Chain A
Amino acid sequence: MTTTARSRPVRAAHAAKGRRRPRTEALWGYAFIAPTGLGLAIFYLWPVLQTAYFSFTEWGAFGGHTWTGLDNYTRLLGDPEVGRAVLNTLTYTALGLVGIPLAIVFAALLNRQGLRGVGVYRTAFFLPVVTMPVAVAMLWRWLYNGDYGLVNQLLAAVGVDGPNWIADPATALYALVVVGVWSSIGYNLIIFLAGMQAIPKELYEAAAMDGASRVTQFFRITLPMLSPTAFFISIVSVIGSLQLFDLVFVMTGSGQSARANPAYARLQTVVQLFYERAFVTDDRGYAAAIVIALLVLIAVLTMVQFRLQRKWVHYV
């Protein structure tokens, strides 16, 4: 908006020349936003309202649905499977936050002036980010294999008998967190690097003159200056983690074969449950209630983070 001030004289000259311009300009404005506007209305905005409506209905075997009021929501609150999925998802989300300090540390190391090979390291960190999540999940399923997986083979070399990582209820969720952090650290790292490069060099020069060590500079300058970026990353990663689906879907599958995995109850996520209710058992009214609950969960956790930001985010 601030840029308009500069060109106001030119605009005024125009307005004097032709009165009709604002009107045609408005028509062109609507024409330009029409394709995306209609697309968003049909495929995104109207569906949200429909999903909200469906969450109050029950679906029959042949696709018809009847209004059942709050039935889906009372069922939801008493459903142990939903409770488990929410707990798993929240645990995964909370543990996944360790990826943020890790990414900050690696970004700080990469950001050292005159460091050689930055491009090579950055490429390595970024490789998992551009790899198809389905492929990532298959790859890790193989690495985690109890008998022949690389992880356990390496552990065996140092005399440790590793578990069957993703089929063991005691380890499955943590094994999943490792994959989640591994595949997202490159994304966070790039954004932190961009944030660090925006910190004025003078701050570091002044601190160095005062005799502050690199470590002190990191804690007193880099971290506070980076906190708005960290806040953004934390908002985005929490929202993303709460929607976890691809990794779990490929690692456990769905339906009967998935339930054969002894760790299934520790891995099932909210979105996976939504997928099963909506497209495997065709219980779409209940599925709609599940995603509305997810929306509420996301909104609440995002609001809590906005509330908490005053305690740790420094805005210049």
Chain B
Amino acid sequence: MSERRAYGVHAVLAAASLAMVAPFVWQVITSLKTLSGATRVPPTLLPEGRWDNYAKVFDLLPFGDQFLNTVIMAAGRVAGQVLFCSMAAYAFARLRFPGRNVLFGVFLSVLMVPPQLFVIPQYQIMSSLGWLNSLQAIIVPGLFSAFGVFLLRQFFLGLPRELEEAARLDGAGPVRIYWSVMLPLARPGLVALAILTLLWAWNDLFWPLVVNTDPEKMTLSAGLAALQGQYQTDYPVLMAGSLIASLPVIAVFVFLQRQFIQGIAHTGTKG
């Protein structure tokens, strides 16, 4: 490729990348300013080292509680989906039982329904169990996923059968084969599901907003939306809060970038 044209490509990509990253840089700078510094015209590029904006977020909201709620919710959903989806996916991919295809079709039908259709009845279930404003409310419906079953079934179908057959000849039953043969082989698929579930759980807004309205029981997403409602114009504090809330998943992304991108690419092959 000619070097000169590569410069053109770099120029376009660098400009686009700047448009992607600059808002975040501005977010960091604003979060370190005083309100009067942030609203200066023309703006100053330098942050002012006002770390107390970050402390203020914790004064205005039970941010520590919300952080913990979000961690527990995400961990619970990830663990539940990886276990339950892989079990169902293994059965659909490898075990023979009457009605298998029909049942799989029923599972898939859930994927085609927009999630808002589940919300009112789910809310009523939570309400009748006395689970409103609880950790169970934000975890339990998220333990089950038709998407996860589909993703992992595709993955299991692509695995070689030889190891399973060998294990079977050694007398291993379905549980042993699932646990000791299939799960280790399917690790990349499990990681992809775990990462996507983490991303979606952490960033989820609608359901947590609806079931947990008590500030101590909210997740970061809903808490941040509430903060925005109360302190509409204190931008440095809002920027500090939104940074703390979104940073953990961004950090996971930076460390597990390859797996993240492969996981996303997997979703593209489902069609």
Contact = CB atoms under 8 A, between A and B. Distances in A.
Interface stretch (A6-14, A83-91, A199-207): A6-14
Contacts of B168: 14
Contacts of A44: 110, 113, 118, 141, 144, 146
A148 B224 contact: no
**Contact size class for B?**
35 or more
Given A28-B173, A249-B225, A33 B114 contact: no
A157 interface: yes
B23 interface: yes
Nearest to A152: B41
A26 B95 contact: yes
A131 interface: yes
A73 B98 CA distance: 41
A235 B24 contact: no
A47 B242 contact: no
Contacts of B246: 131-132, 135
A174 interface: no
B210 A279 contact: yes
A246 B205 contact: yes
Interface in B84-137: 84-85, 87-88, 90-92, 95-98, 100, 103, 106-107, 109-110, 113-123, 125
Given A39-B84, A115-B6, A132 B144 contact: no
Given A22-B96, A43-B125, A32 B20 contact: no
A148 B96 contact: no
A292 to B, nearest CB: 8
A123 B6 contact: no
A34 to B, nearest CB: 8
A22 B39 CA distance: 72
B157 A133 contact: no
Nearest to A120: B17
Interface in A187-205: 187, 190-191, 193-195
A169 interface: no
Interface string B162-203: 000100100001110010000000000000000000010011
Interface string A289-312: 001101100100000000000000
Contact of B95 (A28, A120, A235, A257): A28
Given A26-B98, A288-B120, A125 B20 contact: yes
Contact of A47 (B97, B106, B107, B121): B121
Q: Is the interface of A mostly helix, strand, loop or mixed?
A: helix
Contacts of A35: 83-84, 87-88, 144
A291 B146 contact: no
Nearest to B206: A245
Interface string A208-243: 000000000000000000001101110110010011
B253 interface: yes
A182 B116 contact: no
Interface in B1-28: 1, 6, 9-10, 12-14, 16-17, 19-21, 23-24, 26-27
Contacts of A114: 1
B161 to A, nearest CB: 5
A295 B206 contact: no
8 contacts: A39-B143, A126-B253, A126-B257, A132-B203, A132-B220, A132-B221, A134-B228, A140-B23
Shortest 6 CB-CB distances between A and B: which pairs? A39-B144, A29-B97, A47-B121, A191-B268, A124-B17, A32-B91
Interface of A: 3, 6-7, 10, 14, 22, 24-30, 32-33, 35-37, 39-40, 42-48, 50-51, 54, 106, 109-110, 112-115, 117, 119-135, 138-143, 145, 147-148, 150, 153, 156-157, 182, 185-187, 190-191, 193-195, 228-229, 231-233, 235-236, 239, 242-243, 245-246, 249-250, 253, 257, 271, 274-275, 278-279, 284, 287-288, 291-292, 294-295, 298
Interface of B: 1, 6, 9-10, 12-14, 16-17, 19-21, 23-24, 26-27, 30, 38-43, 83-85, 87-88, 90-92, 95-98, 100, 103, 106-107, 109-110, 113-123, 125, 140-141, 143-146, 149, 157, 161, 165, 168, 173-175, 178, 199, 202-203, 205-206, 210, 220-221, 224-225, 228-229, 235, 238-239, 241-243, 245-246, 249-250, 253-254, 257, 260-261, 264-265, 267-269, 271
